[in-house]
Structure 1
Amino acid sequence: MNAVNKNVTNGILMILSFWLIFVFGLLFYPPIYWTFVLPEIFWIKQCMMTLLMAIIFFLNYFYFTPNVLLKRKYLLFSLIIIALTIALLGASFFFESTYNIRRQINVLNNVPTRKLPQFFDGLVTLSSILMIGVSTSFSVFKKLQKQTQESSDLQKQNLNAELSFLKAQINPHFFFNTLNSIYSLSYTDIEKSRSALQTLSRMMRYILYDSSENKTNLMQEIAFINDHISLMRLRLNDNVKIIFINSTLQVDHKIAPMILMPFIENAFKYGVSVNEKAEIIISLQVENNKLSLKVINTRFDQSNSKQPESYGIGLSNTKRRLELIYPGQYELHIDDNGFNKHFKVELTLELV
């Protein structure tokens, strides 16, 4: 009973933490630092959109995922996602068109009135997908937790690895920052922002659907990595040099989904500095059913004093997953020499 209460408490804390980050980090924090004046109706709209997104989140968490997605009604679940997204777009358009929020902002800041509000809003669309994606992951996570408690010790070990994978599938921090970058980009380069939205949408689709099995196509995994790198280029300045070397696959292979991403995410998380020049080199080669991944990034020991410890936690979890899925079929070497200016990870994996 104590374990059940602990799981329930952890689940509630995860959901509350997500909502605090989402509400403050995406809907309220960026406008606070905008240089122009915002009318009261703008903040009312943000509160109402937050409420609607919360309703969507918990509807999907408690009902749609357990009763539709987990019962393999994939087409119906897709239609539900589309309907919920359209409902959010409609609510946003209602506020914009009824109260002329954009026009009020322009009047308060002595800016010429722009075009009329459009029904499609990229930020609202991606926010809706994010809500459904995260709530789906939490709901599946909850389902798997219950199964873990009822299984044997070996089953518990395998399911815990799967749960860790599901928790790592969606990185809210990455999506929040990317959405903010795209939102800013929409004011300067519409075509580039649309392309970025399409890329992020493709990544969400892969995470929610294509990576749900035990194995996925390596070509799809590489395409996901390439999309991740292209979106990171939007967020980073010219001080960061990114090199991605990728061999052309003649034959596709099967691989455990998201098994390579932690190494790449760590490089972007800890190998980037605001003021200093940085370099991230990613090399992914496949030859004779053997995959070789090499990730090298610049070290910033002074600005990231806890870097080695943080790296250890993330990479130890990934190593545990490699041990469960590829026992005796991989080699992992990590060069974390304090006298070296670079952090290097080399992974060799047998693809069978």
Structure 2
Amino acid sequence: MSFLFNIRIIKIFFLSLLFIASLCIVSCGELDFLYDSDEDESTSVDTWGQIMDEPADVFVAADLSDAVKNGIVTGLAKAAEVWGNYGPLEYWVLGTEVDAANDLSELYCERRSQRGDLYKSNCLAHNQQSDHGFESYRKVGYDAITSGQASSSMGRNGARDWGIHRFTSSYPFGFDSVLGATPKGEMITVYHEYFHAVQHAFVFSLDFDERDELMGPTWFVEGAAVYMAELFVRKMLASGDLVMTDNNDLDTFKVSFEFKMDSGKQSIDNDCPGTSFKDITYELGCSYAAYDLGAWAIAYLSDLVADENALLNRFYPKLNELGWEGAFQASFGISSSQFYADFDGFLIKDIEEQSLILSDL
């Protein structure tokens, strides 16, 4: 019989762009088999967006190593330590074996049923059949290992209406140092995912369209998560607040971003010629340019106000009250339209000049 690791973890985050989403890229329709709630909403307490003491719940499939389990636990805990512990949070990690995935799905769907989130039978069927169910995540890891080609998928898959931040991940093989991936590189991915929870914790509406509008354009959502993860993993490694025995050093912050500038521009040229980075969405073939150039955009905005943590110090605390554009102007001192014009000019500068805005880490 497979075993599941249910690890209580100390930090938390994130919320629902949409009920089911892949690696923060592809979205699908919301599930339509929720329970009807008989709860008196006037007596329920909504703790959304509050810093919490309770640890996150991390569920790891039985076929995964202790290195994977400990990496996820450490990453979420350390990210929450520096950005705030937002929850409740569930993080479900798939391996490659069918039996272990089915056991994890059974636990997940029993949990959904007990909480009144989903009917168990529909939950189990969804996990087997959906593009974003547990089986799809298992298959990503299985295909990567059998082909020898690194590929992974993880993301926040809900769920504001359940009052939780819910994540699902394929095999995070970097923690096992396979397929050329490293634990430190995988740690950046965990921080990235957690920052999405932080973003969503500042958006209180239960209405999907309102939440989507408040989150802002794709480049801002994903660029923020890339920038914050790349920066703060390096900062915490340098300070000793994050300790890893991985002997593989990360590229410097500047080298990493120089690569992103090149890859982002190439992605647009090859897959979406003529498209402005501000117009890139998850559905376009050049969607990853929103991640790469979006990270540069956040670095640019942070440099503009001389605050590398401007997102949390300035922007997100204003978001609910002022809306995305209002918070943008109040935080960075310019309108988004003026920023787009200025940033287009920045993008054509030499990389040496561009890199002057980046931290020396």
- TM class by shorter chain equals 0.3 to 0.5
Question: Going by fraction, where is helix more abundant, 1 or 2?
Answer: 1
Q: Computing the radius of gyration over CA atoms, which structure comes out larger, 1 or 2?
A: 1
**Does 1 or 2 have the higher relative contact order (CA < 8 Å, sep 6+)?**
2
Q: Which structure's residues are more often strand, by fraction?
A: 1
